Structure 1
Amino acid sequence: MNPPAQSRVRVLLVEDDLRVARVNRDLLERDPDVHVVGSAATCAQGDALAQALQPDLILLDVHLPDGSGLGLLRHWRTQGRTTDVALITAADDEASVRLALAHGAFDYLIKPFTGARLNDLLARHRARRLGAAAGRARLDQGRLDRLLGVGHPAPVPLPRGIDPHTLERVAGALHATPVPVTAEEVGELVGLSRVTAWRYLEHLVRSGQAVLEHQYGHAGRPVKLYRVAGPGEAHQSE
């Protein structure tokens, strides 16, 4: 089964150091659902490729031969381009970071960065797209905070056998579903077996991100249903 469209990410790299661009491409494409569709070494090339390729995500350097990536980001926002743009740069001064965020960068990575931090960037980008794809005209504060990445604790090491990319897909499917769902239904949404989806859902319950409910009134064992945990809800377990 093909992965959901929100899991597939088309990336444009704007980086003048060809060696760094190659390393970043290799890191990104370790994820089979990520494809680097273009690479630019200047602001002019980056602008042209952004228009021609319409990528989902742009990874942008600050110091480029013909100008500043921050200026290019400002140009895109002025033109109404809302593509997710993350700065990946050696520019570590506070002024550059503040300016990037003021111009609508959704993330900022200072070189050198870890593969885990890059994976976190991709997971946040996917979560933002999943929230947009849900098509809700109005958001409550909890959903908006999840979309913005606000209020989440620092990530902790995952248990053995829990893949962060798969976990992000399962959590995203749960957030996008307005009613409690079974492990089988989540598995169908993200292309996993029922047992694998159940294992990830149980991890979300143990970590306080999801709530397990039992639906009674049917013959045999009660049906297990999962939903996103609301603010202040206690962990629920077997």
Structure 2
Amino acid sequence: MSKRQSDIRVLLIEDDPMVQEVNRHFIERVEGYHVAAIASNGEKGLKLIREHKPDLVILDIYMPALDGQKTLQELRRLGFDVEVMVITAANEKSMIRSMFQYGVVDYIIKPFKFERLERALLDYKNFRTRMTGEGGVGQEQLDTLFNHAPSSRGMNHLPKGLNQQTLNQILDYLKQNTIALSAEEVADGLGMARVTARRYLDYLQKNGQLNIDIQYGGVGRPVNRYQVKQ
């Protein structure tokens, strides 16, 4: 996957070389993510945070030199402006509670499937998009971000490959616009691939969530434009 300037830059801190490569591959399979650097322990990780200034740190717990728990504590003490996600074999309740107390955005226990990490990264991307910039947010927006939205809001049984958070993100974006939008306009506005936006829009339209307006131009294929039903 080619690197884009808008990608979320990740620092991966993991001591096992084989796991490093697997996690790097998984992370970069998710659209909008790029692994900027990899560290084999917490000490190196803190140095690379200073150097690369990543958006997100993905952190193991069991590591030599400086383990993940102490790394996170030091990272917070130093005041680094970065989010942290944990991927680890550590499943002790006290450890999990401690890591959340220091503000991790998610905690994934090894072994895990790609789909679990993909969901975590898409959720974080959605959160980051919504929380960027000035101004306030409403309760409904927060409920959507933290999966507290009513079940009637969307579909509970999505086809394979579709994600509820992305679905909600597209619906919110369409509601914010008073005119019908094409798949290209939705993709550009949300920073996703056009083919991804088109899949979600087609699904929403077929399930009665959207109106579709087919516009015919002088040359080329007609353009489908979508708008949320009132």
TM class by shorter chain equals 0.7 to 0.9
Distance apart, 1:183 and its partner CA: 3.6
Code of the residue aligned with 1:41 in structure 2: it is: S
Normalising by the residue count of structure 2, what TM-score does the alignment of the two structures yield?
A: 0.75
- The equivalent residue for 2:172 is 175
Structure 2: runs of 5+ lacking an equivalent: 214-224
Question: What code does the residue aligned with 2:87 have?
Answer: I
Amino acid of the residue matched to residue 72 of structure 1?
A: T
Question: C-alpha separation between the residues in 1 aligned to 2:84 and 2:207?
Answer: 30
* Correspondence for 1:225: 227
Question: Partners in 1 of 2:59 and 2:207 — Cα distance?
Answer: 34
Mapped contact 1:13–1:39 kept (Cα < 8 A): yes
Letter in structure 1 aligned against 2:139: Q
Question: Number of residue pairs matched?
Answer: 210
Aligned-pair distance for 1:103?
0.4
| Aligned residue number for residue 192 of structure 1 | 194
| Distance change >3 Å, CA 212–CA 36, structure 1 → 2 | same
State the distance in 2 between where 1:97 and 1:30 align.
Answer: 27
State the 1:90 CA deviation: 0.5
SS in 1 for 2:85: strand
Distance 2:42 2:94 in 1: 20
User: What is the CA–CA distance in structure 2 between the aligned matches of 1:47 and 1:3, rounded to whole Å?
Assistant: 23
- Aligned to 1:143, the other structure's residue is in SS state helix
How far did 1:126 drift? 0.7
User: Which residue matches 2:220?
Assistant: none
- The structural deviation recorded for 1:80 is 2.6
The answer for the alignment partner of 2:89 in structure 1 is 90
Identity %: 30
TM-score, with structure 1 as normaliser: 0.73
Whether 1:54 aligns to 2:60 is: no
Superposition RMSD on alpha carbons, in Å? 3.4
2:159 is aligned with what amino acid?
A: P
> Aligned partner of 1:39: which letter?
I
Aligned residue in 2 for 1:20? 19
